[in-house]
Amino acid sequence: MQQAGVLDVGCHSALLTVVRPAQAATGLETVLSRKVRLRLHQMLAPDGRLRERGVRSVQRAVVEAMEAGPDPRPEVFAFATSVIRDAPNRNEVISRVARATGTRLRVLPGREEARLAYVAARHWAGDHGPLLVLDIGGGTVEIASGTGGQPDTVLSLPFGARTVTRQWLPGGTVSSKRHLSGLRRHLREALGELPGLPTARPGTRVLASSKTFTQLARLSAGRGASPRKARELTLTGLRASLALLARTDIRRRGDLPGISGHRAEQSLAGALVAEALMDACETPSVEICPWSTREGLLLERLSVTGTAARRHRLTV
């Protein structure tokens, strides 16, 4: 049976996912999911270069992830996200990883990541109406909109949670209420003035992909909330969560519902970007979508397209 594999090397992990079409026409079956933890945000030089320790960490993670693959293993599409894609020493990192592991990482332009996130979200949503997809990564924000299987508009913007943290929130905290207000205003103006930014017109379904949105929705829902309640994030709930993150010591943020310890430092930046993005796109709420770029790649590598794709779901 046909299988497809993707190795996604990001700031916080290297994740190998192998899937195949399910026997029934209701979904895709996960053959393997192997995650190796990374902390590349702690291994970046001030100019964004990946330090030696970071390069060795990527080499180790790629080897560990790929060793877990099934036998026989399908061809694996290995790619690196913005932490490596945008590093000044990107080519050196990719070459050294290839020599050490036999796996050559590819990099996808931000606009291609946005397109693939839209493709995945469209198939997950399973409808034909207007769709707006928002994805907050570590380095960039991806936005895509359209009415068909492929987006009409794709944008990639340098306002990822890690980027905003490094530029404006040293240590992941604000120094004062004035600092917080100024950054909120700056992000709102920067996104609001972008030409061609799609907005949520009446009838548009707005889906939010990425760990950032998922964790903010869980935080907004509160401890012990049902999974259904954490499937939506409202602007009102987001602002309450933003205020909570701003006043919580970074060492305690990992104790908050939904916030993982390794993302605690950039969680406040993620909330600030989410608020500015929802404001600029004129949407009072977003629906959490568990699919993004990785799932878009898997769907396209399995040639799950058109009507057939909309019948599928990925079990992860």
Q: What is the pLDDT of residues 273-301, one digit of tens each?
A: 999 999 999 999 999 999 999 999 998 99
In the structure, what pLDDT confidence band is assigned to residue 29 with cuts at 50, 70 and 90?
A: confident
CATH class given for the domain over 4-107: alpha beta
Work out the average pLDDT over 113-142. 94
CATH class given for the domain over 111-288: alpha beta
Chain centre distance of CA 196: 22
Work out the average pLDDT over 130-143. 97
3-state secondary structure of 77: strand
Are the C-beta atoms of residues 180 and 174 closer than 8 Å to each other? yes
Are the C-beta atoms of residues 132 and 283 closer than 8 Å to each other? yes
In the structure, what pLDDT confidence band is assigned to residue 1 with cuts at 50, 70 and 90?
A: low
Round to whole Å and give the CA distance between 76 and 16. Answer: 9
pLDDT surpassing 70 at residue 315: no
Same fold, 4-107 and 111-288: yes
Residue whose C-alpha is closest to residue 74's, from 3, 163, 135: 3
pLDDT surpassing 60 at residue 254: yes
pLDDT at 68: 81
> What share of the chain has pLDDT > 90, as a percent?
80
Helices (H), 5-142: 52-67, 82-85, 90-101, 110-125
pLDDT at 70: 64
Count of CA atoms in the C-beta half-sphere (13 A) of 7: 25
Q: Which stretch of 12-26, 157-171, 192-206 has the lowest confidence by average pLDDT?
A: 12-26
pLDDT surpassing 50 at residue 312: no
pLDDT at 227: 80
pLDDT at 310: 38
Distances (CA, A) of 204 to 19, 32, 132: 30, 35, 7
Round to whole Å and give the CA distance between 234 and 220. Answer: 8
pLDDT at 304: 63
> In the chain, what are the domain boundaries?
4-107, 111-288
Distances (CA, A) of 55 to 1, 66, 88, 159, 246: 36, 17, 13, 24, 32
Predicted model pTM = 0.91
In the structure, what pLDDT confidence band is assigned to residue 69 with cuts at 50, 70 and 90?
A: low
pLDDT at 273: 98
Residue whose C-alpha is closest to residue 220's, from 212, 207, 228, 229: 229
pLDDT at 126: 82
- Residues contacting residue 161 through CB under 8 Å, at least 6 positions apart: 136, 137, 138, 212, 263, 266, 267, 269, 270, 273
Round to whole Å and give the CA distance between 230 and 246. Answer: 21
Round to whole Å and give the CA distance between 114 and 58. Answer: 24
Round to whole Å and give the CA distance between 267 and 244. Answer: 11
